[in-house]
Amino acid sequence: MIYTIQNGYLTAQVKTKGAELCSLKDGQGTEFLFDANPAYWGRSAPVLFPFVGSLKNKAFSYGGRSYPMGQHGFARDMEFTLLEQGKQEIWFRLLSDEETLQKYPFSFVLDIGYRLEGNEVRVSWKVHNPDREKTLYFSIGAHPAFLCPPAGGGMDGCYLGFDLPGDLSYRLLNAQGLVTGESHTLPLKGGCYPLSPGLFDHDALLVEGRQTGRVWLADREKKPFVTVAFDAPLFGVWSPAGKDAPFVCIEPWYGRCDGENFSGDLTKREYGNNVAPGETFRAAYQIIIG
């Protein structure tokens, strides 16, 4: 099922499957979000939980046991329940159950909310640990795909922008989707880098170290048409390799894929989060149009 919220500037639609934002239009009816065309990628803006990225050997270890797990966890493929809805704000909830406990041995309450504030969408996450004894270990992240440019015509000539005084440092993924140890540099001019599909020939650019909290896509005149603002410890930028796709993903993350040399258990994963019994983790980011 799809729900709609709107104000005088924006109209947003969210699916109950994955509590996924699936459309974002401005007051003129211009669409900014990719339509999940499977020829390129079958999603628009999935929420990644309880893992971000790939795990080494496609499994995680906890309590002396190994659990198989696919890329980005399972929440994006599950049906959420509508929690509450207003004209400009909506919340969804996913609860752990017998099925999730078999593959991820933690109780959780995951709430995802969307609120329109002028020309912005505030996306909020709450991860509550209802267990009375066990700490909850998890990662969570965003994966919104923005049309680039919204009017079509291909990303060549558009720009990727960062709120940075110098160049951007990033890492790449190997063929198994694990982060490599080598660091690379994206040379920026005025905070911008010219976009082309070839930028993503080696998968996502993984940016660590809180280098910036604002990333945008800009048109040929370097005028931003969408900005993502966040306080996450790291983020990714991605478009599918070799497909000349009409979108670019800007992805704030609280967690990431395993390193190619990682050998520890879930409690030792880099950038992992933990919530004590009865406590709640909260995070949010903003999508700014124009």
Distance CA 119, CA 263 (A): 44
At position 104, the amino acid (one-letter code) is Y
DSSP per-residue letters across 10-62: EEEEEESBTT-EEEEEETT--B-B----TTT-S-SSPEEBS--S--GGGEEEE
Q: Is residue 190 part of a domain?
A: no
> Which CATH number characterizes residue 24's domain?
2.70.98.10
Distance CA 44, CA 15 (A): 10
Q: Is residue 54 part of a domain?
A: yes
Q: Is residue 185 part of a domain?
A: no
- Model confidence pLDDT, tens digit, residues 178-214: 999 999 999 999 999 999 989 999 899 999 999 999 9
Task: For 241-262, give one letter per residue: b (16+ CB within 10 A) or e.
Answer: eeeebbbbbbbbbbbbbbbeeb
Residues contacting 195, CB < 8 A, separation 6+: 148, 155, 156, 157, 158, 159, 160, 217, 248
Q: How far is CA 100 from the centre of its chain?
A: 21
DSSP per-residue letters across 213-282: SEEEEE-TT--EEEEEEE--SEEEEE--TTTT-SEEEEEEEES-PPBTT--S-GGG-TT-EEE-TT-EEE
Q: Is residue 278 part of a domain?
A: yes
Q: Is residue 187 part of a domain?
A: no
Q: Tell me how many helices (H) and strands (E) the chain has.
A: 1, 24
Q: Residue 166 burial (CB < 10 Å; 0-12/13-18/19+)?
A: exposed
Residues contacting 31, CB < 8 A, separation 6+: 23, 24, 25, 147, 150
| Best CA proximity match to 181, nearest among 238, 261, 117 | 261
Q: Is residue 211 part of a domain?
A: no
Cβ–Cβ < 8 Å for 127, 136: yes
Q: Is residue 92 part of a domain?
A: yes
198: helix, strand or coil: helix
pLDDT string in tens for the chain (290-residue length):
999 999 999 999 999 999 999 999 999 999 999 999 999 999 999 999 999 999 999 999 999 999 999 999 999 999 999 999 999 999 999 999 999 999 999 999 999 999 999 999 999 999 999 999 999 999 999 999 999 999 888 899 999 999 999 999 999 999 999 999 999 999 999 999 999 989 999 899 999 999 999 999 999 999 999 999 999 999 999 999 999 999 999 999 999 999 999 988 999 999 999 999 999 999 999 999 99
Q: Is residue 213 part of a domain?
A: no
Whether the model pTM is above 0.85: yes
Residue ranges making up the domain that contains 33: 2-160+223-289
The number of distinct structural domains making up the chain is 1
Distance CA 234, CA 140 (A): 11
Taking CA atoms, 44 is separated from 8, 76, 172, 277, in Å, by 23, 11, 23, 33
